[in-house]
Amino acid sequence: MPIQTKEAEALEKYLQKKLESSCLKIVLPKRVGQPVELCVQKGKTSESIGTIYRDEDEGEVSYAISLTILEEDLE
């Protein structure tokens, strides 16, 4: 089951509080089957820093975040 709007809002609020950053935003995909993006909002621009996956096993829901860091960004 894909991440629903209310779920994304709760997850965004949790991440903002836990990581002490109101710049973090969760962007739901426009098309079914596309990944949910974790973004950093800077003014009117938004940069995707990773993807969020939802897993449900034996009735328990968990989320995994995969951060994408390019080597060139480290310089």
User: Where does residue 61 fall: left (phi above 0), alpha (psi -120 to 50 degrees), or beta otherwise?
Assistant: beta
pLDDT at 32: 86
Angle (nearest 5°) at CA 39 between 64 and 30 = 85
Q: What pTM was estimated for this model as a whole?
A: 0.86
pLDDT in tens, 40-65: 999 999 999 999 999 999 999 999 99
Instruction: Provide the 10 A C-beta neighbour count for residue 7.
Output: 17
Domain boundaries along the sequence of the chain: 5-74
Task: Report how far residue 8's alpha carbon sits from residue 24's, in angstroms, rounded to the nearest whole number.
Answer: 12
pLDDT at 59: 92
pLDDT in tens, 17-33: 999 999 999 999 999 88
pLDDT band (50, 70, 90) for residue 39 = very high
